[in-house]
Amino acid sequence: MKLKSFFTNSFGILFSRIAGFVRNLLMASILGQSIYSDMFLVAFKLPNLFRRIFGEGAFLQSFLPSFVASRNKGVFAISILRRFLLFITASSVIVAFFPAFFTRLLVVGWSEAQIAEAAPMMAVTFWYLALVFIVTFLGSLLQYKEHFATTAFSTVLLNFAMIGALLLYRNDNPKQVAIALSISVVIGGLMQVGLHLWSISRYKLMPLLVGGWKYRKVKDVAGENKKFNTLFIPAIWGNSTPQINAFLDTWLASFLVAGSISSLFYANQVFQLPLAIIAIAASTALFPSVSKALVHGREEEAYLNLAKAFWLMLAALSVAAIIGIAFSEPIAWLLFERGKFTAEDTAKTSFVLAMYLVGLIPFGLSKLLSMYLYASHRQMKAAKISTISLVFNVIASLSLMKPMGAAGLALAGSIGGWVLFVLTLKEVGFSHVIKPLFSRHILLLLLAWVTLGALSYYGNTELMAIIRR
C-alpha cells in the first residue's frame, strides 16, 4: 500500500468532512430538526446515495481495469460516458416533470401538502446525479495517471456551496433556506466538474477524450463494453449496502415523528467520518498492490498485506467506536446544539449515533475484505453477500423502528453490517486473515477495549455533568 496515496485520500476526506460538519452545524442551527430540514434531506437523498456509490469505488473498480486493457482507450471511455450520461439525463428529465411522484416514493408517510412543498427541491437536486457521474468518470481517468488529490479534495466544493447558501439565506424563512440549499447542490456539482476538467487538461488527457469522441465507433470496443458490464453491475450492488440501508432508513423514518429523518442524517454524518478516513482511504490505497500481487500469482503476499491492514484497521476502528459510543452525547452537543437544535434534539441524535457506531467495526472491515473480493474478480459473490446483509437489515428495521424509533433503524443497519462482515470474512478466508497475527494481538486488543471503554464511560459521565450544570 502506497502511504502517499493513503494519506492523500485520508487528508482529502478529512478536509471535506470538516467542511461537511461546518455545513451540518449551520443547517442544524438555522433549520433545527424541522419539517423543512427533513424536506431538503429527502430531496438530497437520491443524489447523495449515488455520490457515495460512485465515489467509494464501484465505478473505478469496474472501469479502470477495462480502460487499462483497452486498445482504443478514448473510444471505450467515451462509449461509457455517453451511455451513462444518456440514462442519467433522461432520468433527471423525468424526475423534473414528475417530482411529486418520486418524492412520494421516498416518504410514503408524508401528507400531500408536505410532498407538494418538497417536490420542487427534488426536481432541482436530482440534476446533481449527472454532475457526480462526470466527476467520478474524470476522477477515474486521473487515477489512471496516479493522481488522487483532485478527487479526494473536490467534495469540499459541494460543502462550500451549501455553506454559502446557508450564510446568505440564514435570516430568511425556513422554506426559502431549504430551496437555496437545493440549488447550491447543483452549483457545487458544477464547481467539482470544473476542477476535474482543469486537472484533465493539466495531465494531458483531453486529447484522448476528444479523439474518442471524434472516432466513437462503439463496435470496436463492443467486447470491452461487455466485460465492463459483467463487472460493473455486481460491483455497484456490492458497494451499495450501507447507502441503500440509509435510503431505507429515510423511507421508514417518514412514518415516525417529525425530525426523525434529520436525527438519522446528522448521526450518520458523524458515523461516516471515521469510516471514510480509516476504511475507505486504506482500502483505496491497498487495492492496487493486492491486485498486482494476485495477477502475478503472489497470493501469500496479498493475504499477508490484507492481514496486516485488517489488524491495524481493527485497532483504529475499535478506538473510534468505543470513544464515539461513550461520548455520543457530548459529540452531538458540541457539533449541533445551538440555535433551533435543542437539548432534546441532542439526546435523540446521540442515541442514534451510538446505534450507528455499533456497526462501525464490521462496516469498516467489510470494506477492506470486499476490496480483496473485487481484486480477485469475485464481484458477484460480494453482491450476493450484500443482498443477504440487506435482507437482515430490512427485517431488523421493521422489528426495531416501533419500540426504538430512529435509533432502532440505526441499530438495524449495524446488525446488517455484522452479517456483511461475517459472510465476507468467511468468503475471503478466516484462516488467511485472522490466524496469522491472532495470538500476538488479540489479548492486547481485548485489554485495550476494556480499559478504553471504562475510561470513556467515566469520562462521559463527568463531562455531561459539567455540560448540563
Contact in structure between 385 and 424 (CB atoms under 8 Å): yes
What's the pLDDT score for residue 392?
A: 93
Q: How far apart are CA 418 and CA 393, in angstroms?
A: 10
State the average pLDDT over residues 246-274. Answer: 82
What's the pLDDT score for residue 55?
A: 53
User: Is 70 exceeded by the pLDDT of residue 219?
Assistant: no
The grid coordinates of residue 434 equal: 485472522
User: Is 80 exceeded by the pLDDT of residue 230?
Assistant: no
Contact in structure between 155 and 93 (CB atoms under 8 Å): no
> Residue 199 — very low, low, confident or very high, per pLDDT cuts 50/70/90?
very high
Instruction: Please tell me which residue, 326 or 292, carries the higher pLDDT value.
Output: 326
Instruction: Please tell me which residue, 89 or 20, carries the higher pLDDT value.
Output: 89
Counted residue by residue, the chain has a size of 469
What's the pLDDT score for residue 448?
A: 59
> Residue 252 — very low, low, confident or very high, per pLDDT cuts 50/70/90?
confident
- pLDDT digit string, tens, across residues 342-384: 788 888 888 899 899 988 999 988 888 888 887 777 878 888 8
| Percent of the chain residues past pLDDT 90, beyond the cut | 15
Nearest CA to 219 out of 109, 72, 370 is that of 72
Mean pLDDT, the chain, rounded, equals: 80
- pLDDT digit string, tens, across residues 374-425: 777 787 888 889 889 999 999 999 999 888 888 899 999 899 999 999 999 8
What's the pLDDT score for residue 160?
A: 93
Q: Where are the beta strands (DSSP E) in 63-137?
A: none
Residue 364 dihedral angles phi and psi, to the nearest 5°: -65, -45
User: Is 80 exceeded by the pLDDT of residue 163?
Assistant: yes
Q: Where are the beta strands (DSSP E) in 68-123?
A: none
Nearest CA to 396 out of 412, 417, 410 is that of 412
What's the pLDDT score for residue 183?
A: 93
User: Is 70 exceeded by the pLDDT of residue 441?
Assistant: no
Q: How far apart are CA 25 and CA 284, in angstroms?
A: 29
Direct distance between the N- and C-terminal alpha carbons of the chain, in angstroms, rounded to an integer = 48
> Residue 186 — very low, low, confident or very high, per pLDDT cuts 50/70/90?
very high
State the average pLDDT over residues 18-46. Answer: 80
Lowest mean pLDDT among 47-61, 124-138, 375-389: 47-61
Amino acid at 209: L
What's the pLDDT score for residue 347?
A: 84
Stated pTM of the model: 0.70
Cα angle, residue 12 at apex, residues 28 and 80 outer, rounded to 5°:
100
Amino acid at 199: S
State the average pLDDT over residues 244-252. Answer: 77
> Residue 73 — very low, low, confident or very high, per pLDDT cuts 50/70/90?
confident
What's the pLDDT score for residue 200?
A: 92
> Residue 173 — very low, low, confident or very high, per pLDDT cuts 50/70/90?
confident
Nearest CA to 52 out of 246, 320, 317 is that of 246
Q: Which H or E run includes 281?
A: helix 281-295
Q: How far apart are CA 69 and CA 395, in angstroms?
A: 42
What's the pLDDT score for residue 446?
A: 62
User: Is 60 exceeded by the pLDDT of residue 156?
Assistant: yes
What's the pLDDT score for residue 423?
A: 94
What's the pLDDT score for residue 253?
A: 84
What's the pLDDT score for residue 276?
A: 80
For the ranges 85-89, 289-293, 445-449, the maximum mean pLDDT occurs at 85-89
